[in-house]
């Protein structure tokens, strides 16, 4: 019987079984190979700090409202790589043995329609080798969305806050997009080291100075400050420092998933005095690309797959560990206790 991982309460994950069913027209069955744990979105759900813990998002009005029904178990995960093991009627372009990346949760079997997920993570065909690279597809699309929203120009000075997987990928993509200098701000030494190995111009430790991070960035970049700051840590202190690091009229792209109130975000300081533009970067939940219809979800996903499998976007150093699916609760607890202990943990099936 197929098994999936669900969140039944904050910090409580369980395995549940379900009956396998026959395929309908347009569907394929996937045997899971490897899936990646998201250290941002998933961990916020795991801790019960995401807004979905007490609210629901009204997609018609696009506003959060109080939840009116009891919470059901929540499936975790959206970075799944699987092998097609069965093809239903009226399916074209996919055959048994193909490898697909999907937005399915952590489970050992999935049934999908090939036309589903167009607003989130549509199924993408992957090469049959190096399937572990596929677990970076969703997060790479988040990074690419941030780069597109940043509108980087050749020669721009870019500072990236947060050296997790998304931040590491943003650093690479910013250089690829023409940035003159790319600076990473990250407290963990191993993440700064990886970023430097992958070509980042400089990596600053925000805990190594008594001065504000924005001050240190501007001194490093010659007082002018960054043209663009991309915040990926999902912390309000990171967002405040990103705002402080750009010059007058600079751009700040907020790509993190922020939780709760922003006590560390002081808008009366650099935000008020330097007039930066703050851009929210979001490519799912019905948010079209700012260049739609030229760019859309499927094109974003196919683009990052090409970048990853052509070695233009390097992901190998970012996979910290792969553990069996049945040890998933252990991985969530470890990331909860020590978020900096791993860049990416993947589950094997």
| For range 39-43, the mean pLDDT | 92
Contact status, residue 20 vs residue 4, Cβ threshold 8 Å:
no
pTM of the model: 0.95
Contact status, residue 148 vs residue 175, Cβ threshold 8 Å:
no
Q: Give 318's DSSP letter.
A: G
Contact status, residue 217 vs residue 158, Cβ threshold 8 Å:
no
Residue that is written with structure tokens 């629901």 in the block: 56
273-308 pLDDT tens trace: 999 999 999 999 889 999 999 999 999 999 999 999
Ramachandran region, residue 62 (left: φ > 0; alpha: ψ -120 to 50; beta: rest):
left
| For range 104-132, the mean pLDDT | 91
Rounded percentage of the chain residues whose pLDDT exceeds 90: 90
What confidence score (pLDDT) does residue 216 get?
96
| For range 44-51, the mean pLDDT | 92
Q: Which fold would CATH assign to domain 140-280?
A: Rossmann fold (3.40.50)
Instruction: Give the pLDDT band of residue 70 (cuts 50, 70, 90).
Output: low
| For range 223-240, the mean pLDDT | 95
| For range 143-156, the mean pLDDT | 98
What confidence score (pLDDT) does residue 281 get?
97
pLDDT of 91 > 70? The answer is yes
pLDDT of 328 > 80? The answer is yes
Is the CATH number of domain 3-129+319-348 3.90.180.10? yes
163-199 pLDDT tens trace: 999 999 999 999 999 999 999 999 999 999 999 999 9
| For range 63-68, the mean pLDDT | 90
pLDDT of 51 > 80? The answer is yes
Q: Provide the residue ranges of all domains of the chain, joining segments of one domain with +.
A: 3-129+319-348, 140-280
The residues facing 254 across adjacent strands are 231, 280
C-beta neighbour count of 78 within 10 angstroms: 22
Write down the mean pLDDT value for the chain.
95
What confidence score (pLDDT) does residue 308 get?
98
């Amino acid at each position: 019987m197929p098994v999936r991982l669900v969140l039944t309460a904050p910090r409580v994950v369980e395995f549940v079984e379900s009956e396998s069913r026959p395929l309908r027209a347009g569907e394929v069955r996937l045997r899971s190979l490897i899936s990646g744990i998201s250290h941002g979105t998933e961990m916020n759900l795991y801790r019960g700090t995401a807004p979905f813990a007490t609210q629901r998002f009204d997609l018609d009005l696009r506003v959060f409202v109080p939840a009116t029904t009891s919470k059901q178990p929540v499936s975790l995960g959206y970075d799944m790589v699987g092998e097609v093991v069965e093809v239903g009627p009226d399916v074209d372009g996919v055959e048994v043995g193909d490898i697909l990346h999907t937005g399915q949760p952590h489970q050992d079997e999935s049934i999908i329609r090939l036309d589903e997920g167009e607003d989130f993570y549509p199924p993408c065909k992957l090469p049959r080798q190096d399937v572990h690279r596929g677990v970076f597809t969703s997060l790479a699309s988040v990074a690419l969305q941030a780069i597109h929203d940043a509108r980087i120009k050749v020669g721009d000075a870019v500072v990236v806050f947060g050296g997790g997987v998304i931040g590491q990928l943003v650093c690479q993509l910013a250089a690829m997009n023409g940035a003159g200098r790319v600076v990473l701000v990250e407290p963990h030494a191993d993440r700064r080291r990886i970023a430097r190995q992958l070509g980042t111009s400089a990596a600053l430790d925000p805990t190594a100075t008594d001065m504000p991070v924005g001050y240190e960035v501007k001194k490093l970049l010659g007082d002018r400050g960054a043209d663009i700051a991309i915040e990926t840590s999902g912390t309000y202190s990171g967002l405040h420092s990103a705002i402080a690091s750009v010059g007058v009229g600079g751009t700040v792209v907020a790509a993190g998933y922020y939780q709760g109130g922003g006590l560390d975000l002081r808008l009366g300081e650099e935000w008020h005095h330097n007039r930066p533009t703050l851009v929210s970067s979001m490519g799912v939940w019905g948010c079209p690309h700012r260049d739609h219809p030229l760019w859309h979800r499927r094109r974003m996903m196919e683009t990052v797959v090409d970048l990853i499998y052509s070695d233009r976007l390097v992901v190998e150093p970012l996979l910290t560990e792969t553990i069996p699916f049945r040890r998933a609760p252990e991985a969530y607890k470890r990331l909860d206790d020590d978020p900096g202990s791993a860049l990416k943990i993947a589950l094997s099936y």
